[in-house]
Amino acid sequence: MIKIYKDFFDSDCLEYIGKQIERSQHTSNFRSSYPTINWGERIVQESAPVMIYDMVDPDILQKRLKEVYPTEKDMHFMIYYWPVGSYVAWHPDNHVEMTASVYMNKYWNRDWGGLFLYEEGDKILAEIPEWNKLVLQSPPVPHASTPVTKSYFGSPDVDGGWAYHEGVPIIRTTIQIFEATEEYKHNHRMSFKEQPAGAGWVKGESFAST
Ligand SMILES: [Fe+2]
């Protein structure tokens, strides 16, 4: 089931996120969606590597999320940076009971890809990335995100958003959240184990992505 919350994080949470983004820009401590590290080939397919930063001490975000999703379990918060050509193939995330995304680009044009697609009955619906919008899945439903076609942009006031903002490139940025169940923790401990290759996800099949 999908729930959408606009303007989800308050100013304290957003300040923390801003500091984490800044911190991530001064570290080499990135993971990536490269298939041999964390993600299976079936979900990566031809995607450009997504860069992943594990957020440090995200207590303030946990507290906010637990207001709409009460749980005793911890949650894993990551920042994802999406270059041109990155996407996520259809997958179920049925290794967790809850997963969520928050879109962190202040402006996003739907022509730039990165749409969140999900199944509802026999339809495929889409959510357009919007600043500070939470898309929460509990339990997760089959979903995907479409290929990013533009990852650096500026204010829509400048050249319609096609120029860099004050000369500083801003890449498509999301926050990804997973409820840390025992199975999820196990998958993370096992993240260096080789994962089976395949042509794509078959509906009903279970496999993990983070
Ligand atoms: Fe997912």
Q: 114-146, pLDDT tens digit by residue? A: 999 999 999 999 999 999 999 999 999 999 999
Calculate how far, in angstroms, residue 8's C-alpha sits from the geometric centre of ligand 1. Answer: 19
- In a domain, residue 26? The reply is yes
The DSSP call for residue 149 is S
**For residue 152, is pLDDT > 50?**
yes
- In a domain, residue 199? The reply is no
Residues 6 or more apart whose CB falls under 8 angstroms from that of 6 comprise 130, 132, 133
- In a domain, residue 195? The reply is no
- In a domain, residue 107? The reply is yes
pLDDT tens by residue, 5-54 = 999 999 999 999 999 988 887 887 888 887 655 677 888 889 999 999 99
- What's the pLDDT at 205? 47
Mean pLDDT of the chain: 82
- In a domain, residue 102? The reply is yes
Domain extent for 53? 2-189
Chain mean position to CA 83 = 13
The CATH number of the domain holding residue 26 is 2.60.120.620
- What's the pLDDT at 32? 86
pTM of the model: 0.82
Calculate how far, in angstroms, residue 82's C-alpha sits from the geometric centre of ligand 1. Answer: 14
- In a domain, residue 93? The reply is yes
Calculate how far, in angstroms, residue 144's C-alpha sits from the geometric centre of ligand 1. Answer: 7
Calculate how far, in angstroms, residue 178's C-alpha sits from the geometric centre of ligand 1. Answer: 9
- What's the pLDDT at 195? 34
Buried/exposed 75-113: b ≥16 CB within 10 Å, e otherwise:
bbbbbbbbeeebbbbbbbbbbbbbbbbbbbbbbbbeebb
- In a domain, residue 209? The reply is no
Burial of residue 48, with CB atoms counted within 10 A of its CB: 0-12 exposed, 13-18 middle, 19 or more buried: middle
Rg of the chain over all Cα atoms, to the nearest angstrom: 16
- In a domain, residue 194? The reply is no
Calculate how far, in angstroms, residue 102's C-alpha sits from the geometric centre of ligand 1. Answer: 12
Higher per-residue confidence, 107 vs 88: 88
| Number of structural domains the chain divides into | 1
